[in-house]
C-alpha cells in the first residue's frame, strides 16, 4: 500500500503530534506533521499566516501539504485539526482508505484538551473564549472526523505511548478482520 502507514486526525489537544512521534518510534518509521510542512513552505508560524495572509490562504497551503504528504510519506502522518474540513482532503483520505490505508481519529474531551492546548494565542481559531471556541469547533468537526476515520481512539488520561499501543492493537484487529474476510 503506497502512502503513510497510518494517518492521525483530531482536534487541537488530542495528541496527534505526541502520539505520532510515539508511533514512529515504536514502528521505527518517520513522523510527519502537515502543520510543520505548512510553516516550512510559508516561512512563518501558522498564527502569523492567519494574521498576515488570512485563513483561506492557510487552508490552501494546508490542503496542498496534505495532498503532498499523502502521496510522498510512508511513515506516520499527522494532519492539522481543520485539514479534514477540505472536501479535496476528504476525497484523498477516502481514496487512501479504499487502498487499505488507516485513518485514526484521536478523540479527546475538552477537560483533557484544555491543559494540553493551553488555549494560547498560537492557536488562532481559539482566540476570544478558547473553551467555547474549542467546543464549537469540535461540535462542527466531530462528524467529519468520524466520517474520514477507520478507527477512533479516546486519548483522555492516556500517555502518548499508551495511545500508540491501543492504535497498534486496533490495527492488528483490523488486519485479522481483513484476513478473515469480514468488514469492521
Query: Which tens digits make up the pLDDT trace of 25-48?
Result: 999 999 999 999 999 999 999 888
Other CB atoms within 10 A of residue 40 CB: 10
- The CATH number covering residue 38 comes to 3.40.50.300
Q: What is the mean pLDDT of the chain?
A: 87
| Positive or negative torsion for Cα 183, 75, 169, 143 | negative
pLDDT tens, position by position, 116-167: 555 554 544 445 556 677 677 788 889 999 999 999 999 988 999 999 999 9
Query: Does residue 134 lie in a domain region?
Result: yes
Report which of 89, 85, 64 is spatially closest to residue 7, judged by C-alpha positions: 89
In a domain, 17, yes or no: yes
Q: Note the pLDDT of residue 61.
A: 96
99 is written with which cell numbers? 487502498
Say how many C-beta atoms besides its own lie within 10 A of residue 140's C-beta.
11
Q: Which long-range contacts (CB under 8 A, 24 or more apart) does 85-92 make?
A: 85/59, 85/141, 85/144, 86/59, 86/62, 88/63, 89/63, 90/144, 90/147, 90/148, 92/66, 92/67
Separation of first and last alpha carbons in the chain: 19
pLDDT at 13: 79
112 has a pLDDT exceeding 80: no
Range of the domain at 148: 6-179
Strands (E), 34-169: 76-78, 103-107, 151-154
* Bridge partners (DSSP) listed for residue 78: 8, 33
Domain-embedded: residue 139: yes
- Sheet strand arrangement including 151-154: 31-33, 76-78, 6-9, 103-107, 151-154
**pLDDT for position 121:** 46
Count of structural domains, the chain: 1
- Taking Cα atoms as reference points, which of 113, 53, 111, 61 lies closest to residue 82? 61
Residue 184: inside a domain: no
Q: Does residue 55 sit within a domain?
A: yes
The reply to whether 74 falls in a domain is yes
Output the pTM of the full model: 0.88
In a domain, 56, yes or no: yes
Q: Domain for residue 1, yes or no?
A: no
Percent of the chain with pLDDT over 70: 83
Amino acid at each position: 500500500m503506497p502512502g503513510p502507514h497510518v494517518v492521525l486526525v483530531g482536534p487541537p489537544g488530542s495528541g496527534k503530534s505526541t502520539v505520532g512521534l510515539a508511533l514512529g518510534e515504536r514502528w521505527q518509521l518517520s513522523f510527519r506533521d502537515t502543520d510543520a510542512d505548512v510553516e516550512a513552505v510559508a516561512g512563518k508560524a501558522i498564527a502569523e499566516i492567519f494574521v498576515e495572509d488570512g485563513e483561506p490562504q492557510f487552508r490552501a497551503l494546508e490542503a496542498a501539504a496534505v495532498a503532498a504528504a499523502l502521496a510522498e510519506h510512508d511513515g506516520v502522518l499527522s494532519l492539522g485539526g481543520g485539514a479534514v474540513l477540505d472536501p479535496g482532503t476528504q476525497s484523498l483520505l477516502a481514496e487512501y482508505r479504499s487502498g487499505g490505508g488507516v485513518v485514526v481519529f484521536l478523540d479527546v474531551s475538552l477537560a483533557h484538551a484544555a491543559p494540553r492546548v493551553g488555549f494560547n494565542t498560537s492557536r488562532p481559531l481559539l482566540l476570544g473564549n478558547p473553551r467555547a471556541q474549542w467546543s464549537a469547533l469540535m461540535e462542527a468537526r466531530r462528524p467529519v472526523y468520524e466520517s474520514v476515520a477507520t478507527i477512533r481512539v479516546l486519548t483522555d488520561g492516556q500517555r502518548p505511548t499508551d495511545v500508540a499501543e491501543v492504535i497498534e492493537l486496533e490495527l492488528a484487529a483490523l488486519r485479522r478482520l481483513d484476513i478473515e474476510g469480514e468488514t469492521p
